[in-house]
Amino acid sequence: MANILFPGVLAGAIAIVPLASGEEPRLAKSDDLKTTELRRDKKGGNLADRCKKMLDLQVAVYDCTKDLNKVVQDKKPRPKDMRISEKLSKDQKAIIAEVTTAIDMLKAEGAAAAFVEVLDQLRSDMKRVQGRLEMSEVGSVTQAIETDVIDTLKEMIRALQAR
């Protein structure tokens, strides 16, 4: 896990249904990442806005990962838990696609190499999260990587807004 100085935020929409005591985490019907919103932003929007969207989506994945971990804890995940984790993995993959688009956009614009490097490291960490979620590994290691990604996105947004 790398601590990166510049994080970004992606505003998006994974709706997590609040848990009552004893309930299992589940995604709301509107839980799919808003890929249409992501596509719409590809031709417009600035990097700070794109990072805010990524941040929002990453926070939603992280929150659901924490909720799922409360259910699974140290036990073997049930098929239902594995399906939720697979869904989170797919959501993470959509965020990876968004960061890849941002990297390509910055490279095409000849943007500062520092931002490209930070986003590239961020993508690497996101891929690690995606792989761990795919394996239904929702414990402290996955959550720590997710926290690093979120912190990096926040730092990047601050840096972009200061420019």
pLDDT in tens, 62-73: 999 999 999 998
**149 lies in a domain?**
yes
Which pTM does this prediction carry?
Answer: 0.73
Q: Tell whether the model's pLDDT for residue 78 goes beyond 80.
A: yes
Domain of residue 97, CATH code: 1.20.120
Mean pLDDT throughout 5-16? Answer: 29
Domain count, the chain: 1
Q: Which domain covers residue 40, as residue numbers?
A: 35-162
**147 lies in a domain?**
yes
**Of residues 135, 123, 109, the one with CA closest to residue 8:** 123
**16 lies in a domain?**
no
**18 lies in a domain?**
no
**Residue 41, Ramachandran bin (φ over 0: left; ψ between -120 and 50: alpha; else beta):** alpha
* Distance of alpha carbon 109 from the chain centroid: 24
Averaged confidence pLDDT in the chain: 79
Give the residue with greater pLDDT, 86 vs 26: 86
**4 lies in a domain?**
no
pLDDT at 45: 59
Give the C-alpha separation, 103 to 120, whole Å: 7
The structure tokens 């929007």 sit at 45
**2 lies in a domain?**
no
Q: Assign 52 a pLDDT band (cuts: 50, 70, 90).
A: very high
**52 lies in a domain?**
yes
**108 lies in a domain?**
yes
